Amino acid sequence: KIESYPENHRPAVAKITEILGNYADSGMEIEIALRKHKLPYEFSAGCLQAAAKIPDTVRTADRKNRVDLRDLPLVTIDGETSRDFDDAVYAEKIGRNYRLVVAIADVSHYVRPDDAIDTDAKERATSVYFPRRVIPMLPEALSNGICSLNPNVERLCMVCDMTITYAGNVKSYEFYPAVMKSHGRLTYNQVWDWLENSVDNEYKSSLHTLYKLFQVLQKNRRKRGAMEFETVETQMIFDDNGKIERIEEVHRNDAHKLIEECMLAANVCAADFLLRHQHKALYRNHAGPTPEKLAVLREQLALLGLRLGGGDKPEPKHYGKLAEQIAERPDREALQSMLLRSMQQAVYEAENEGHFGLAYDYYTHFTSPIRRYPDLLVHRAIKAVLANKTYNAGNWQELGAHCSYCERRADEASRDVENWLKTYFMRDKVGEIFGGKVSRITNFGIFVTLDNVHIDGMVHVSDLGEDYFQYREDLMAMVGERSGVRFSVGDRVQVKVARADLDTCRIDLVLESEPPKAKKRGKKVQAALVQEAERMAQKVVAKEARTQKKARAAKPAAKTARSSAKSTKAAKTAKPKPQKRKQSAAQETKAKAKRRAKVKWDSAE
């Protein structure tokens, strides 16, 4: 803790308040992240006392006024390492339509507004997931106990019971409190293996119906124009000392997508329910691109011979169509990041604005009240409507801003821990040579994603070769001035690990392979570059013409008289000097624009 700040020649004075241990101790990176990002990681005494009083089983009185779903074969489908189970699903065929039941843990029954548990949950607003450790939003007695939909035990839940047509549209829905019993704790890989290989199991009929419904919902998703990017996800495998042993790719199968579609359907119904009854709540809003970001995106895409449809107001379907076009490109991941950066961040707000990425006119979060505070608020609002009451959570807009901030803070803390662990993992790889792919380019170097370990490192611009390299925005590449050697996103390179710095979490690489020679752009790219140059030239001409027009309008209409007869006579008798014929302002502006266009074309060549 800093007690006095530096002044004149006097240094700062600080007091040691806590000793965490050795930097390389197991879990130390998490302890540092918790304090760096000011994450609440200890529950208050009042919260723990309140949690201890909550029974660990469902009582007879708890079942009152609830629908009994204990015989309905609901199952949970989650990851292998999951411990808190928010949701359970069941589907059956009814004529040409489907019945989909999504049961969500009824956290609001146990966590009441403004009690000690609610106060701590509101402060945290979200669970924070680190490798090998979770900082839960709720005490473990609730998150992994009475609120978690564990198998073969009674649990209270809030249900969204939907009828979905064969075309994938929600025909009707109903919300109600219920009591249930999970008939199975299944995993994504297990379910996908059963579905893909038609393996006999006790859940086969229900899972088969769920999968058929998923295919219907996914078809409707594509028709709606929702965006869907396939990104490479990784999982860290740890040794007994809590350090990375290896990093593996995680393949997202259809079982993941099946549960996702079920949750999306329930979330949309929750938003529609609250809007119909005009009850205040938090909505999950995702705005499309701003005009400034859209202009930057279009220029970048034009340089790559790509085009985003939709004019000044592109819709999700235009993004989706472009995503399909780039699906097989080597620079696919970089282009996907470019598309995502053009849009705004999703946030929680009191007024519904729709979700651009999912192509929904209204959307909220209902399905994860164990780990997200906004979902808990939505549950309370739905219950209030069902009871013909009103739930007042206070200032909804401030709550939304707080929850959005806590979500970003949790993401940043998790990213810090992962980066530190990856850097530690690479310390004993210094000197080793890896193949990799250029994933990002900046004016100070190129970032390379290393094969097999899926870790990013940087080759500084000074280590790219003996040439003078410069980042060319017009080419989106790092180009050598004399040699014409070019590095573009998606290029394959060989690099050697030079340094792994734990203080900055930076991995430095040096180039081993010969960099790729510059290649001539294809005809499509050349045409796009010329078109872009001409467009920019027209903008310049129009702008300078407007400037000239304003300047002419500002001049006084009457000319000033000559000061004297002598000066008049001198002016008449003076021999005129030969002058070079000047270009008009418009001609000069056009010439400049042509020269700029030529530079663009030369760059393309």
Closest alpha carbon to 283 in 358, 161, 366, 223? 366
Q: Contact, 93 vs 178, CB < 8 A? A: no
Q: Does residue 340 register a pLDDT over 80? A: yes
- Residue 604 has a pLDDT of 42
CA angle 343, 344, 350 (to 5 degrees): 140
pLDDT per position as a tens digit, 496-505: 999 999 989 9
- Residue 305 has a pLDDT of 84
Q: Contact, 178 vs 68, CB < 8 A? A: yes
pLDDT per position as a tens digit, 444-491: 999 999 998 889 999 999 988 888 999 988 778 899 888 888 898 888
What is the CA 147 to chain-centroid distance, rounded? Answer: 28
Lowest mean pLDDT among 6-10, 345-349, 590-594: 590-594
Q: What does pLDDT average to over the chain?
A: 86
pLDDT per position as a tens digit, 551-595: 666 554 444 444 444 444 444 444 444 444 445 554 555 455 445
CA distance 489 to 457: 14
Q: Does residue 135 register a pLDDT over 70? A: yes
3 state DSSP class of 184: coil
3 state DSSP class of 105: strand
3 state DSSP class of 212: helix
DSSP 178: E
- Residue 539 has a pLDDT of 59
Model-wide pTM > 0.85: no
